[in-house]
Structure 1
């Protein structure tokens, strides 16, 4: 397990990131042993607020990696920068050795992204939306049609294939967004809160899909508030608080003989050991 050393000058300034290595040519992305995602000194500020403060992480290829942290910890901002949705002020991100900001087209071919809070083209039907993403990824029409049919069946969305996405429930919207992330068969899947608003049966089906994806050689990074879910699903985990990594390693290393939830609370702090005011306990 690795512990983060507090950076000088926080919260007054974002620290300078380490000098990045030279961009790795896209053809090295197939080299065995290259991390699925390597984050080097990512930092981002919104106004006076430092959202991400020099985060560095190495996600092993073939792992099921959990990213956990309290609200406002910087998880979504970190994943957005790592997947090319948000430009960092400092640092870089490598997808299988390909620099996201030096070679964005090549890097994005390797990653499927389910981003929290990013709007879909919801005036398309589910079938049209998945097809659109497949064509944008450079797949031919026949492959897109076949894969879209498979994904809609896999995610139990066949009955809603011709329904506008704007009319989907929150859970169905999550599932169609996952289908869009999977259509081009990426080597890395980055999922920000993929189980939010998803019913238990659909969540179990999605977990099965993701485990099959990892067992086939893919890599999954999942951000979640559910410690129990991460503890059961993932083999590695990183805890982020106040824009920094406070612990990272295998799940067993990070939880250190405790439950992941208890260890998380210990690392992050903020728990109030009290029963509440008397008027809430006197019935």
Structure 2
């Protein structure tokens, strides 16, 4: 579960990137976080993950306040950033093993998890190569593997499908569904609204730091008395903001 209560963040003391945000993402749900560029999505995600501090409000990950106990909170989630260009000089296996070290995953368990993840993402033959030799999609996959190797309860994914080939994209969406169906939480941002419409249990649309809508896609259609696609409703909702 992810809980945000009264969360705000301003830059330069003037522009409020996130404005008094209240949001609850319960267990057992794939939650899509949608918004145009500059809407406050990345700022919100960086506050949830503890990369930046909010000016006001409280953020809890599975009941743990990330400001009061950041180590405990960060042990509970895995975070895929919007850029996979990390630790480029390491080999793929070195990077995933490094992530397993950080989270204290035992050797036998990590070996099993790395093999399982590598098979699902077709990365077994690439683990011995340096990350800088990888394509963008392969870098994305190795970052995802590093995030998932400690089997976090909460997944926080910022544009995770970017650069993935169709098979790997399908695999990740399948894994997201499995994770939510096992009673855990998946929070992800995406610009691909067709994916959000098909995959998400609920979505929130943010613009100029405020939540314009939060709920299921059928609830959105009912609210706006429309049978249009999520993409059409999103564009209509954000065009005048």
- Determine the C-alpha separation between the residues in 2 that align with 1:129 and 1:153: 17
1:6 aligns with none
More contact order relative to length (CA 8 Å, sep ≥ 6): 2
In structure 1, what is the Cα distance between the partners aligned to 2:34 and 2:154? 18
Partner of 1:264: 234
C-alpha distance after superposition, 1:60-119 (max 9, x if no partner): 111010000001111011011011121111112111111011111111111111011374
TM-score calculated relative to the size of structure 2: 0.93
Root mean square deviation of aligned Cα:
1.6
Preserved CA contact (<8 Å) 1:237 1:254: no
The match for 1:218 is: 184
Alignment of 1:1-283 (within 5 A): 36-47=1-12, 48-117=14-83, 119-256=85-222, 257-269=227-239
Partner Cα distance (2:10, 2:108) in 1:
44
CA contact (8 A) 1:80 1:115 kept: no
Unaligned runs of 5+ in 2: none
Across the two proteins, how many residue pairs are aligned to each other? 236
How big is the shift at 1:235? 0.8
**Greater Rg by CA:** 1
**Cα separation, 2, equivalents of 1:206 and 1:53:** 32
Unaligned runs of 5+ in 1: 1-35, 272-283
Offset of residue 169 of structure 1: 1.0
CA deviation profile, 1:199-246 (whole Å, cap 9, x unmatched): 222211211121122222221111001110000001100000011111
